[in-house]
Amino acid sequence: MDVRAAIATEAGKPLEIATVQLEGPRAFEVLVETKATGICHTDEFTLSGADPEGLFPAILGHEGAGVVVEVGDGVTSVKPGDHVIPLYTPECRQCPSCLSRKTNLCTAIRATQGQGLMPDGTSRFSLDGKPLHHYMGCSTFANFTVLPEIALAKIREDAPFDKVCYIGCGVTTGIGAVINTAGVEAGAKAIVFGLGGIGLNVIQGLRLAGADMIIGVDLNPTKKEWGERFGLTHFVNPADLEGELVPYLVDMTKKGADQIGGADYTFDCTGNVSVMRDALESSHRGWGVSVIIGVAPSGAEIATRPFQLVTGRVWKGTAFGGARGRTDVPKIVDWYMDGKIEIDPMITHTMPLQDINTGFDLMHAGESIRSVVLY
Ligand code: NAD
Ligand code: 022
Ligand code: ZN
C-alpha cells in the first residue's frame, strides 16, 4: 500500500516527505495506523550521522501511538481496532532475558531490529522498489507501519493518541528510571541533572514516589520554572555558582544529624559524561544510587575514582526506564488517564508530518520540551 512517510535519505540531510510502499504484515506481525508520534533525541542522533550504527535510507521515529489495522498469521494478543503503543524495547516473555525477571532488554528480535529489518530479515518499506530500513523496530514517522506483535503494548481506547505517544519513550523512560531502576522510596532526596523531556519526567516520577527533596540542575535558567511545574523543590544553575558544583549539592542535602551529605538518588538526563561523574559523586556515601539515562556520544567514556564506589555509591544505567513494555506501558497510560501523572504541558509543539523538520529545529534550539507530529 501507499503510505506517507518522512524519509531519512542520508546523514545530515533534512527528512524528505514522500509516498512510499508498505507491504502488509507477515506471520507474527501487525499493520498499525500511526496517529501521532513524538520527536526524540535519538531520532536526531541517527539523522545527524553521529550514530555509527545508523542506517540510511530509513524511516525514523520510535515514540508513537496508533490503531491496529491488520494482523498477520499467528497474532493473538492484538486485533484490528485495538489501540497500541509501539515498543522499541519489545517484551516476548520467552527469551532468557524476559524470563530472568532481571532486565527489560528482551533479546528475541534484537539482531534484526539493530539492522533495520523485521525479524525475518526483510523490510516492509520500499521506495521505487528499493528497500528502506525500519528504525528501532518502530518507524513511526509514517502514517502506517508494520511491527512485530511482541513490540506492541495494547492500551485503553479512551486515551488520546496525541498525548500518550510520549509514553512510547520519554514518559516511561523518566518515570521508569525512578520506579524500576532506582526504586526510590518515600522521603528520599534526589538530584536530577538536565531538565528536558526526560528530566521533567524523572521529576514527576520522584513526586509520585514521594521524594522529599528534588533538586534540579540545568544550565538553562528557564528550566527552573519548568521543573517546579512537575515537583522540583530546589533549582541549581551551575553557571551561577562561585565554587564547585558537587560540594555545593552535597551541602544542600545535609540535614540534622547527617553531616555527610549527598543525595539518596541522582539521575543524569543530559548524556554528558562529566555531568554523569558529578551525578555519581553528589550521591550519598554508603548508599547513593546514580542512574545514567542520557545517551553519550559514540566512543565516550565515563570516569570517577574507584574510592567513590568502594565507599558504597552505585552506578547504574537504564534503557526505556527498565520498563517491560507490554506489561508496564498500559499501566502508565492508566496513571495518565487517572491524573496521577501529567503529559499535556510537556507537549509544547504539534505539527503535521509535512513540517516534521521544524520539530527537529525546535529541539536543536532548545525551544521545545516535546514536539508531536499529528497524522
Ligand atoms: P533535552 O535536550 O530535552 O534535555 C537536556 C537538558 O539538559 C536541557 O535542558 C539542557 O539545558 C540540559 N543540560 C545540557 N548540558 C548540561 C550540563 N552540562 N549541566 C546541566 N544541564 C545540562 O533532552 P531529553 O529529551 O531530556 O533527553 C536527555 C537524554 O536522555 C538524551 O541523551 C537522550 O538521548 C536520553 N534518553 C535516554 C533514554 C534511555 O532509555 N536511556 C530514553 C530517552 C532519552
Ligand atoms: C530512546 N533512546 C534514546 C532516546 N530515546 C534510547 C537509545 C538506546 C537505548 C535505549 C533508549 C538502548 C540502551 C541499550 C540498548 N539500547 C541496547 C539494547 C540491546 O542491545 O538489547 C538500544 C535499543 C534499541 C536500539 C539500539 C539500542 C535499536 O533498535 N536500534 C533499546
Ligand atoms: Zn526516545
Q: 83: helix, coil or strand?
A: strand
328 domain residue, yes or no: no
98 domain residue, yes or no: yes
* Contacts for 13 with CB less than 8 Å, ≥ 6 apart: none
266 domain residue, yes or no: yes
How many separate domains does the chain show? 2
Shared domain check, 299 and 353:
no
Catalytic residue among 9, 42, 103, 112: 42
- CA atoms of 170 and 198, how far apart (whole Å): 5
324 domain residue, yes or no: no
Shared domain check, 247 and 119:
no
The answer to whether residues 42 and 138 touch, using CB atoms and an 8 Å cutoff, is: no
Shared domain check, 21 and 42:
yes
Which range marks the domain in which residue 71 is found? 2-168+343-374
- Supply the pLDDT for residue 277: 99
pLDDT in tens, 183-240: 999 999 999 999 999 999 999 999 999 999 999 999 999 999 999 999 999 999 999 9
Shared domain check, 98 and 147:
yes
Shared domain check, 187 and 163:
no
Shared domain check, 198 and 156:
no
Distances (CA, A) of 281 to 133, 159, 232, 293, 370: 41, 41, 21, 16, 30
290 domain residue, yes or no: yes
Shared domain check, 123 and 195:
no
Q: Which of 39, 63, 295, 324 to mutate to test the pocket of ligand 2 (most atoms within 8 A of CB)?
A: 295
- With a 6 Å cutoff on the Cβ, whether 169 touches ligand 2 is yes
- Supply the pLDDT for residue 258: 84
- With a 6 Å cutoff on the Cβ, whether 196 touches ligand 1 is yes
Shared domain check, 158 and 252:
no
Ligand 1 centre distance from Cα of residue 269 (Å): 4
Please count the other Cβ atoms lying within 10 Å of the Cβ belonging to residue 2. 10
325 domain residue, yes or no: no
- Supply the pLDDT for residue 229: 98
Ligand 2 centre distance from Cα of residue 94 (Å): 20
Which residues lie across from 8 on neighbouring strands? 58
61 domain residue, yes or no: yes
283 domain residue, yes or no: yes
Shared domain check, 154 and 202:
no
Shared domain check, 261 and 142:
no
- With a 6 Å cutoff on the Cβ, whether 217 touches ligand 1 is yes
* Contacts for 363 with CB less than 8 Å, ≥ 6 apart: 39, 41, 44, 371
Which stretches in the chain have pLDDT values below 70?
Answer: none
Shared domain check, 308 and 198:
yes
- CA angle, 118 as apex, 357 and 106 as ends, to 5°? 95
Catalytic residue among 29, 46, 83, 106: 106
Helices (H), ranges, the chain: 41-48, 96-100, 110-114, 161-164, 170-176, 199-209, 223-229, 245-252, 273-281, 306-310, 325-337, 356-364
Q: 166: helix, coil or strand?
A: helix
Does 165 qualify as catalytic in the annotation? no
- CA atoms of 162 and 350, how far apart (whole Å): 9
- CA atoms of 243 and 252, how far apart (whole Å): 14
Does 63 qualify as catalytic in the annotation? yes
CATH number of the domain at 163, please. 3.90.180.10
- Supply the pLDDT for residue 257: 82
- Supply the pLDDT for residue 2: 98
Q: 317: helix, coil or strand?
A: strand
- With a 6 Å cutoff on the Cβ, whether 136 touches ligand 2 is yes
pLDDT in tens, 61-87: 999 999 999 999 999 999 999 999 999
The answer to whether residues 362 and 349 touch, using CB atoms and an 8 Å cutoff, is: yes
- CA atoms of 129 and 344, how far apart (whole Å): 40
Shared domain check, 273 and 233:
yes
- With a 6 Å cutoff on the Cβ, whether 113 touches ligand 2 is yes
CATH number of the domain at 203, please. 3.40.50.720
Question: First vs last Cα of the chain: how many Å apart?
Answer: 17
- CA atoms of 34 and 373, how far apart (whole Å): 10
pTM of the shown model: 0.98
